[in-house]
Amino acid sequence: MSEQPQQVQIGKPVPDFRLPADSGEEISLSQFRGRKVVLYFYPKDSTPACTQEACDFRDLAQAYGEYGAAVLGISGDSVKSHGRFAMKQGLNFPLLSDESQEVCRKFGVWQLKKMYGREFEGIVRSTFLIDEEGKLLREWRGVRVKGHAEQVLEALRETNKK
């Protein structure tokens, strides 16, 4: 029997992690302390919805930066796959490789999914907005790509008004 995924909770610190990025360097969440982080999990490089989502975050990355936020993407694809994907799409933020699904499990996004009558485990498209101290501000689970990057930007605007 598999263990229940640890769920992150709004207002609580999220678990730190260290993963290899498309650039080849290791990136940890804690290195972004002092900045907000838009952390998004997606199923697979170079698929239509994941490409659209990455491009939407790319196109708004400068606007996120104006609110002091960095963008990080995570999937189970390899560093090599991330590198090709990031280069082809001109991404301006790191893609992190979680081939062991360890970080995905910590955030509760590695789940049983169904598609075309088949069951399999995979990443449920999800986004987490983390504050400057590493606490979870907002979460979106089971994300629909269309308009999502704008929703996250709006949430950033809201948090900066407080």
- Over the stretch 21-38, which tens digit does the pLDDT of each residue have? 999 999 999 999 999 999
Q: How far does CA 80 lie from the centroid of its chain?
A: 18
Question: Which tokens sit at 88?
Answer: 């082809």
């449920």: which residue's tokens? Answer: 124
pLDDT tens track for 70-102: 999 999 999 999 999 999 999 999 999 999 999
DSSP 92: -
CB under 8 Å to 133, separation ≥6 — which residues?
13, 33
Q: pLDDT at position 61, please?
A: 94
Q: Are strands 18-20 and 26-28 parallel, antiparallel or unpaired?
A: antiparallel
Rg (CA), the chain: 15
Sign of CA dihedral 105, 108, 109, 115: positive
Q: How far is the C-alpha of 53 from the C-alpha of 150, rounded, in Å? A: 11
CB under 8 Å to 147, separation ≥6 — which residues?
none
Confidence band (pLDDT; 50, 70, 90) for 161? confident
pLDDT tens track for 48-73: 999 999 999 999 999 999 999 999 99
pTM recorded for the entire structure = 0.93
The catalytic residue positions are 50
Q: pLDDT at position 88, please?
A: 98
Share of the chain above pLDDT 70, in %: 96
Question: Which tokens sit at 18?
Answer: 């260290």
Confidence band (pLDDT; 50, 70, 90) for 1? very low
